[in-house]
Amino acid sequence: MSEENKTCSKIDEVIEQFAFQGQLITKKLYRNGHINDTFLIVYQLPDGSRKQYILQRMNHMIFKQPEELMENIVNVTEYLRKVILSQGGDPERETLNVVKTRKGESYYKDSSNNYWRVFLFIEHTICLEMVESEKDFYDSAVAFGTFQRMLADYPASTLHETIPNFHNTPSRFRDFKKAVEKDIMGRAALAREEIAFALEREAETSALTDLLKSGELPLRVTHNDTKLNNILFDADTKKALCVIDLDTVMPGLSHYDFGDSIRFGASTGAEDEKDLSKIGVDLSLFEAFTRGFLEGCQGSLTEKEIEMLPMGAKLMTYECGIRFLADYLEGDVYFKIHREGHNLDRARTQFKLVADMESKWDELTAIVEKYKHSC
């Protein structure tokens, strides 16, 4: 039996464990995600209306402690629910809502030791895979900034690290140096320029973590995967409604969320573009995101945090580049590849983007300065 069929065969067992109401109408694969298996479950209620749910099998090979992951999600979403209610919002549409098992648990461990969870389905929403306009990017920035603001008083240190050292750039750099030294695939000679580029910037790898250690930057609740497709937009108004995919919510720096968005959304080319002449940071998109992020934060960031936002963009891009390069040197064991040298191409695009940020540093800092009092 295929892995997919094995997963599907467990659904009936799993469904029985959750506190659904009404009669089951539909159960079907909803989205082929890279990490979790996702299903749409539809129930008909006694009054004839229908209630939809998202059922997911969590990938405990990537997230080694699913119990801790779910504790994070429950605590953060329940906190968000209170904040949204206090602001007169709709918590069933503006944050994820965990559906408990019949025993009151946030997850169910099946007979094959797989972990499952359920969320309310947020209806009449759309998800965007790519930035189609400056407005899309601005709206996503407001959403992620608002996420920061609503969780500004949450005790971040009480959260578990679902992936230890996920955005710890000095730690990622040490892993990269080990990959270079071991060179188990004999590929280092093919990436001399890229390795040199990375090594030349070693001193900057701790620029943010040093400020965290000294207390000059505060520990925050961070999403850590701030791509456009992790926001639901209202299908009618196209307004950003809800930040989703909270698996990587953990303690961190606001710069991680800002920086990863810029890395992914403000680049002028694809993440694996081979023609590096097409790669650079789009200043208009950088400005749109900066404006939206700071507006969403509404004064919840410190002056030092705002000042260091360009460094967040640079370091998150650099960090991604050294991760791609390390994976290339180690034989492409982490990131999926679709062609020979794919991870090396990805590393090159990230480093080209870093270099372009460096060449436009004055413009980037001026943009941040322009909007730092608008929030």
CATH assignment of the domain containing 180: 3.90.1200.10
Do 95 and 232 reside in the same domain of the chain? no
> Model confidence over 42-53: pLDDT tens digits?
999 999 999 999
Do 164 and 289 reside in the same domain of the chain? yes
Is 252 inside a domain boundary? yes
> Model confidence over 194-222: pLDDT tens digits?
999 999 999 999 999 999 999 999 999 99
Q: What is the CATH number of the domain that holds 74?
A: 3.30.200.20
Do 211 and 333 reside in the same domain of the chain? yes
* DSSP H stretches of helix in 10-162: 11-15, 66-86, 91-94, 134-150
Under 8 Å CB-to-CB from 257, ≥6 apart: which residues?
Answer: 144, 147, 148, 222, 223, 224, 226
Sign of CA dihedral 317, 318, 323, 328: positive
The chain-wide mean pLDDT, for the chain, equals 94
Do 185 and 229 reside in the same domain of the chain? yes
| Helix (H) / strand (E) containing 233 | strand 231-234
Is 196 inside a domain boundary? yes
Angle in degrees, 0-180, between the axes of helices 169-182 and 309-329, rounded to the nearest 10: 20
Exposure string over 58-70, b if 16+ CB within 10 A, otherwise e:
bbeeebeebeebb
Order of strands, sheet of 125-126, starting from the edge strand that comes earlier in the sequence: 125-126, 231-234, 240-243
Last residue of a domain, one of 123, 145, 179: 123
Beta carbons within 10 angstroms of residue 272's beta carbon: 17
Do 210 and 91 reside in the same domain of the chain? no
Is 128 inside a domain boundary? no
Domain count, the chain: 2
In the block, tokens 């749409």 appear at 40
Do 29 and 78 reside in the same domain of the chain? yes
Residue 347 has pLDDT above 80, yes or no: yes
User: In terms of DSSP bridges, do strands 108-109 and 115-120 run parallel, antiparallel, or are they unpaired?
Assistant: antiparallel
Last residue of a domain, one of 99, 123, 147: 123
Let me know: does 55 contact 41? Beta carbons within 8 Å: yes
Rounded Cα–Cα distance for residues 189 and 248 (Å): 35
Do 298 and 361 reside in the same domain of the chain? yes
Do 109 and 241 reside in the same domain of the chain? no
pTM flag (> 0.85): yes
Question: What is the structure's pLDDT at 374?
Answer: 64
Rounded Cα–Cα distance for residues 314 and 130 (Å): 21
Domain that holds residue 82: 3-123
> Model confidence over 267-298: pLDDT tens digits?
999 999 999 999 999 999 999 999 999 999 99
Let me know: does 292 contact 134? Beta carbons within 8 Å: no
Last residue of a domain, one of 97, 123, 149: 123
Do 193 and 275 reside in the same domain of the chain? yes
